[in-house]
Chains A and B, each alone.
Chain A
């Protein structure tokens, strides 16, 4: 099911950060929120998942108005949301296995064996077999991201959010993570929302793109239309380096 954002406005102490954004994040696609640093990508995402309350407007999950729900009504939606945070946000005091098991322990009545089976399935899916008993501090940044993905998909979510999944990763690992997110989206037919300012990701997995400029919905499209658009800000974003600008001259 899709996520629809209607006229969302959000500010902090008088400064409006998100200025009337509307957009539909489509099911079975990797939807991207892109834009420069400080443009409001994280704030918008936190409004969508309910970490921030919107000042006005609404967020609709599969036809249900999430913004109008109270805490206990939201819980039902929350267990269908998986989220990958910028810094992975793994629980430091838990092992890899305990991290992935945590949502299962909290929200299911599975037996220990069933949980372990699910954990191992998720860890295998992100190609992290036999790392169960390591701690987050003992594994690399790319592995931490993959553990966080395994934790995010543990409850078989319908919605997956990824806040800058590539930040702090080398280009090769970034592509591995991007592809993993893309494949999982197709496999489980999830509505995936990826925040990024990485042009590689945009080109690789940008099926449905929302470009935010200073808190406004500035442009929407996909990875094909983004390279040919005449929009000034998009052009500056896509062709940020001199090298790319020259390349653009040759392309268009």
Chain B
């Protein structure tokens, strides 16, 4: 299959996913389960990454400022800008595309391989709707929170290392965080996040759902790799497009 056939089949899959669910109560239950597997279980890695990245950004910015003409609060300002604009949304989503994406692809792919998807279809359940919609909704719901948490923790991590290592005083750091703060930068990041979340849920579902069952576990593994590569590329592309239109 070439790229255009994949895109066509992907769009048809999304169409199926947004059909009316068989039972709302079942969707609600699956939504909560997915929030847990996609969101809650990613919190610790996101927290760790954000704290360390915030800390490293503070050290790097400080080490690059030699001129006495540049005020100390620049450290806080630069850290804030990098965390909010790029790291907490794009980088975190790229990392989660790997973690969550491979997880979704192998889950759905294994269901294909073991005929669980056939079992749903024979019963008369729309398997795409049943499997993919809860993942889309859960991702759209939980990713903005994850990104906000990452922003907060990144700035805290920077503050901790900055004050503890004597790089900057707390007052100056906070002054930097507030310097020319435009709340739209957070909105911009969250808009990007919603797009990323959608593709982090759907691209791996696609590769898992259409895995060739006669290829066995090997194919399921490959579908995980393919979905991580594809969703990372889509994230980078969307990042470019949205940044171009929203910030220029």
Interfacial residues, chain A to chain B (CB-CB below 8 A): 46, 49-51, 74-75, 78-79, 81, 83, 85-87, 89-93, 102-103, 105-107, 161
Give chain B residues whose Cβ lies under 8 Å from the Cβ of A87.
Answer: 114-115
CB contact between B124 and one of A79, A85, A86, A91 (< 8 Å): that residue = A79
The prevalent SS among residues of A at the interface is: mixed
Report the nearest A residue to B21, measured CB to CB: A106
> Are B123 and A78 in contact, with the CB atoms below 8 A?
yes
CB distance from A88 to the nearest CB of B (A): 8
The prevalent SS among residues of B at the interface is: helix
* B122 in the interface (beta carbon within 8 A): yes
In Å, the complex CA distance between A64 and B211 comes to: 33
Give chain A residues whose Cβ lies under 8 Å from the Cβ of B110.
Answer: 92
Report the nearest B residue to A76, measured CB to CB: B124
Give chain B residues whose Cβ lies under 8 Å from the Cβ of A78.
Answer: 122-124
> Are B123 and A103 in contact, with the CB atoms below 8 A?
yes
Report the nearest A residue to B114, measured CB to CB: A87
CB contact between A51 and one of B22, B33, B122 (< 8 Å): that residue = B122
> Are B122 and A106 in contact, with the CB atoms below 8 A?
no
Give chain B residues whose Cβ lies under 8 Å from the Cβ of A106.
Answer: 22-23, 26, 123-125
CB distance from B234 to the nearest CB of A (A): 28
Report the nearest B residue to A75, measured CB to CB: B124
Total contacting residues, chain B, CB less than 8 A: 16
* 20 further interface pairs, Cβ-Cβ under 8 Å (given A46-B118, A50-B121, A74-B124): A49-B122, A50-B122, A51-B121, A75-B124, A78-B122, A78-B123, A78-B124, A79-B124, A83-B119, A86-B115, A89-B118, A89-B119, A90-B116, A91-B116, A105-B26, A106-B23, A106-B124, A106-B125, A107-B22, A107-B123
26 A-B Cβ contacts within 8 A? A46-B118, A50-B121, A50-B122, A51-B122, A74-B124, A78-B124, A79-B124, A81-B122, A85-B115, A85-B119, A86-B115, A87-B115, A89-B114, A89-B116, A89-B119, A91-B119, A92-B110, A92-B116, A102-B123, A105-B23, A105-B25, A105-B26, A106-B26, A106-B124, A106-B125, A107-B123
In Å, the complex CA distance between A106 and B124 comes to: 9
Give chain A residues whose Cβ lies under 8 Å from the Cβ of B33.
Answer: 93
CB distance from A72 to the nearest CB of B (A): 10
Give chain A residues whose Cβ lies under 8 Å from the Cβ of B23.
Answer: 105-106
